Amino acid sequence: MDVLAGMRKRRQVLSDAEITRRARVNPQYLQRHRDLKAEAEAVRAHLAKDAPKAAAAAAARKEATLEVENRMLLEQNATLRRTLEAVQSKLRELRAQELGAQTRDGLDARSLRDTEMDELRKQRDAALAASRQAEADLQALRNVNQRLLVENSRLLAAAPPE
């Protein structure tokens, strides 16, 4: 990004190869990071005062940014899904412990059973709350992901053919 900022500041058009050389990155870096490549195209178009090219570059930059954001949301979604599975597993474990405690409590003293039950209920309630929160977060991310997909589709449909 520093190279692109310098390119804009010095009003100097640089090729992709020169950008990657100055940034000291792999020559294929811009091909793998479409958002940066789109940014470079936008700077070149701006410096050349080429309005159609600038508009196309802006659309490509927005599309690349949406793709990056979409990938990040998918990663967050997967993380939340794993968290939800872990919470549900813990909840099943606590439920099994609670059932075991109920069976055992028939043989143990009443006061010990009450304290254990209270503790297990607290743990269960905490696990349920975490599970509900994870489900709500997952649903919110799904909604955002869906909106981004719709917006992305709309932008791709509106983009002029190359």
- What pLDDT, on a 0 to 100 scale, did the predictor assign at position 98? 85
Helices (H) then strands (E): counts for the chain: 6, 0
* Mean per-residue pLDDT, 45-67: 81
| H-assigned helices in 49-109 | 51-105
Mean pLDDT over each residue of the chain, to the nearest integer: 84
CA–CA gap between residue 160 and residue 56 (Å, rounded): 8
Which residues touch 84 (CB under 8 Å, ≥6 apart)?
131, 134, 135, 138
Judged on CB neighbours under 10 Å (0-12, 13-18, 19+), 137 is middle
82-111 confidence digits (pLDDT tens): 999 999 999 999 888 888 877 766 655 556
Q: What percent of the chain has pLDDT over 70?
A: 91
Q: How many CB atoms lie within 10 A of CB 86?
A: 14
Instruction: Identify the pLDDT of residue 75.
Output: 94
pLDDT of residue 109: 54
Give the amino acid at 23.
A
Sequence ranges of the domains in the chain: 2-158
Nearest to 36, CA basis, from 60, 53, 70, 54 = 60
Q: What is the structure's pLDDT at 111?
A: 64
Q: How far is CA 9 from CA 12, 13, 47, 92, in A?
A: 8, 11, 10, 60
pLDDT per residue over 12-46, tens digit each? 888 888 888 888 888 888 778 877 888 888 888 88
